[in-house]
Structure 1
Amino acid sequence: MIFRRFALAIGLLFAGLASQLPEFTQQYKQRLGGAIDELRSIVTQFDAEAASQSLNRDQGIARLRGNSDVLAQERGASVAETTAREERLERQRASFDTAGPLSQYAVLAKDFDPGIARQAYADYQPALPVTTAGFVSAGIGLVVGWLATHLVALPIRRRRFPPTTGVTRV
């Protein structure tokens, strides 16, 4: 009897944690938009600098990378990384825009950006899940927590309470 209460308590804990996933995803998406805006600003500035030298972005990056000056080489690598990250985050935002409420979690996991997630978590404020996605997430968390508790305790329960066959041993 106590074990069932413990499993229910663990299930409720997981439900509470999982119910926060929609709010975290929302805050992640807001940070994503800010990161894209900042990266776009940097890339646009570089594009203007390259255009002033009659170069496109790729040519400007290649010129920097081919430069004998180490600082210029590092700047070329940095611009290439910034451009690639902006494109990746833009794809993630487009995926978020087309994803349904629950499939957004798959988008978050697939293209997870640790920097954005760290910033979102640092400012994260729990919220009461009053959306369908929040209730579904809570339900999934409840089931996962309850099942995990039972799976972890399975070896203990088998050892502690051996099955009885009705045969008395003498």
Structure 2
Amino acid sequence: MFALINNVIDRCFFTLTFILGVQLPEFMQQYQQRLAGQLTEASSQLSQFENIAQQHFDGSLITMITRYKDNTEASIISTGELIERLSVRVEYLDSHLTQITQADYLHSVYQFIWHLDQEIARGTAEHFSMAIPLELNAIATGASLAIGALLLKELMLLTIKRTFKSKKTTII
């Protein structure tokens, strides 16, 4: 009877982890779309400042930022700092998007996991809509995660059983 219950639990566990695993490529895609949208918006805002720099600072955004920050008026200094942060943000978003989209799937997953932007991930999760993509990467990810989780579960149970067996024989 225990073996039957354990078998059913294993199947449910496998199915659940498989479904969660196939969500990773979908989440990554929605994350990339959010990232691209933020990059587009930030670039659009920065280009307006670049136009001003083109007109008044010989096209040098750095010169414009430096002069704004060297100004004595607090609002001009704050504007210079804002432009500088926006410029850094555009570079960061562009670099991050390139990292997770220009590589093969496994490298993209690695880059996504290790360089995840918490703010963008949180926004993606808030609006995430689950889907089961019928593509090889999604199915392979789901199957790998499910098999790995099932093997990990079995190894943990085996370790626990051996620990209790050795304690039982020590007590006797």
Q: Assess same fold via TM > 0.5.
A: yes
2:82 is aligned with 1:75: no
Please say if residues 11 and 144 of structure 1, whose CA atoms lie closer than 8 Å, have aligned partners that are also in contact. no
SS in 1 for 2:106: coil
Deviations 1:49-81 (A, max 9, x none): 222222511111112222233333332222222
Matched residue, 1:14: 17
Matched residue, 2:141: 137
Q: Which runs of 4+ in 1 moved over 6 A?
A: none
Q: In structure 2, do the counterparts of structure 1 residues 48 and 149 end up closer, same or farther at CA, with 3 Å as the change threshold?
A: same
- Counterpart among 29, 46, 51 of residue 49 in structure 2: 46
SS in 1 for 2:14: helix
Point out where structure 2 has 5 or more consecutive residues left out of the alignment: none
Displacement of 1:162 after TM fit? Answer: 4.5
Point out where structure 1 has 5 or more consecutive residues left out of the alignment: none
Please say if residues 12 and 145 of structure 1, whose CA atoms lie closer than 8 Å, have aligned partners that are also in contact. no
Please say if residues 100 and 109 of structure 2, whose CA atoms lie closer than 8 Å, have aligned partners that are also in contact. no
Q: In structure 2, do the counterparts of structure 1 residues 110 and 156 end up closer, same or farther at CA, with 3 Å as the change threshold?
A: closer
Please say if residues 13 and 145 of structure 1, whose CA atoms lie closer than 8 Å, have aligned partners that are also in contact. no
Please say if residues 27 and 124 of structure 1, whose CA atoms lie closer than 8 Å, have aligned partners that are also in contact. yes
Hey, what's the Cα distance between the residues in 2 that align with 1:28 and 1:67? 39
Please say if residues 21 and 137 of structure 1, whose CA atoms lie closer than 8 Å, have aligned partners that are also in contact. yes
Matched residue, 1:27: 30
Displacement of 1:24 after TM fit? Answer: 0.8
Hey, what's the Cα distance between the residues in 2 that align with 1:72 and 1:153? 64
Matched residue, 2:122: 118
Q: In structure 2, do the counterparts of structure 1 residues 7 and 158 end up closer, same or farther at CA, with 3 Å as the change threshold?
A: farther
Q: Identity of paired residues, percent?
A: 25
- Counterpart among 60, 75, 88 of residue 92 in structure 2: 88
* Code of the aligned partner of 1:28: Y
SS in 1 for 2:109: helix
Structure showing greater relative contact order (alpha-carbon pairs closer than 8 Å, 6 or more residues apart): 1
Q: Which has the higher helix share?
A: 2
Deviations 1:130-151 (A, max 9, x none): 1001111101211232133234
Hey, what's the Cα distance between the residues in 2 that align with 1:159 and 1:3? 20
Displacement of 1:99 after TM fit? Answer: 1.5
Displacement of 1:154 after TM fit? Answer: 4.5
More deviation, 149-158/51-60: 149-158
Q: CA RMSD in A?
A: 2.6
Aligned residues, how many? 166
Matched residue, 1:127: 131
